[in-house]
Amino acid sequence: MCVIAGYTGSRRAAPILIEMLKKVEYFDGGLATGIATIHEGKLYSVKCLGNVDDLLKNTDAINFPGTCGIIHTRPAGGRASHAHPFVDESGEFAFCENGTYFQVAAPEYKKDAEGILRELYEKGVTFTSAVGAPGDKWDEYHVLLPNGQTIHNAESYAQSIGWAMRDVPSDRLASALAEKTAEMQSRMPSELVTLSVHARLPGVITVGRITRSMSFATQGGETYLCTTPMGFPDDVQKWPITFLPPVTVSQASPQGVTVTSLPIKGVRVEQGGAREEGLVRNHLEKLLADKENPHSLYEMETASLGLWHEPKIDCDIVSPIGQVKETAAVIYRVLWSFFKEGRLRWILGPHGNLTMMKFWLE
């Protein structure tokens, strides 16, 4: 998983995005970080290994122009080329995601995903996240280029959507981006949520959500998006806040968020509602009761997987070990309710080789 955020409004986006991500990067990130903004028909993007402080130290991100943008951090380092956002070959389209493909690492998924890559590879697209050499052995989760290298799956989205937008006129770009996002999430479904911006589409952020959490708040000509509302500026946390529904494509503008009617084919949804939130809330009340034993998001998700047995998101493509559920999103909503009640506390602590926010309740 990762943490992502977006902003579109009247103020410069970069400082706002950096402030938001700084507040919540260790929910599930901090090892690779990147940002993209758009201004006067140009895309500005940079990424690096490390956390928000490293981004500020090693790049000019804080000075990026533009009043619309997206930002991302992930809990996996090692390769700066695998940091998000990914920028397509035209340099106009930036894309980031929060999620995992493990639940859908089935043969039919791999076949279609590699078909998408083959189409782009044969058109001469350069994949900046490509690693490995022909003949390398990869596990079943890796999608391969025709030359035997593997790439970050998010770049499949970025390059495919960006390529499709090359000849689309600006007055059709918003609808075309939404349609292509729905198509790609139908062909490559997963436990994810995505944010993207295009240099020729000022003020618009396209959101594709299957299961992972995405919240937004709009007021006074500004719209904020974040994995968790805990990332919003303190004053924005007091605005009306909405969590986007699963299996939807939406578009955010300074005036608000429009949820489209575009179908994500092959994925059926029964949104985790009051019953599931009640089960998770009761469970976390007990799990987080001990200040001396705080828990990370990963630990909360693992402990909550069995609370309801039927999948809340049903997908045509699910691996034998997978079951696509809205567990993480429900946990985010419950944690937000604890936060609003003033009961949620946290420290930074270890989780394996990661540093993560670890929570308890007062």
Angle CA 30–153–115, to nearest 5: 175
pLDDT digits (tens, 9 = 90+) for 324-344: 778 899 999 999 999 999 999
Pairwise CA distance, residues 220 & 50, whole Å: 34
Spatial strand order of the sheet with 222-226 comes to 42-49, 32-39, 68-74, 3-8, 222-226, 215-219, 242-243
Q: Note whether 249 and 207 are within 8 A (CB).
A: yes
- Give the mean pLDDT of the chain: 91
Q: Given this model, what pLDDT does residue 300 score?
A: 95
Q: How many CA atoms lie within 13 A of 27 on its CB side?
A: 28
Residue 314 scores a pLDDT above 70: no
- Model-level pTM? 0.95
Give me the mean pLDDT over the 184-207 stretch: 93
Q: Indicate the pLDDT class of residue 140, thresholds 50, 70 and 90.
A: low
Residue 108 scores a pLDDT above 80: no
Spatial strand order of the sheet with 205-209 comes to 86-87, 93-100, 191-198, 205-209, 248-253, 256-259
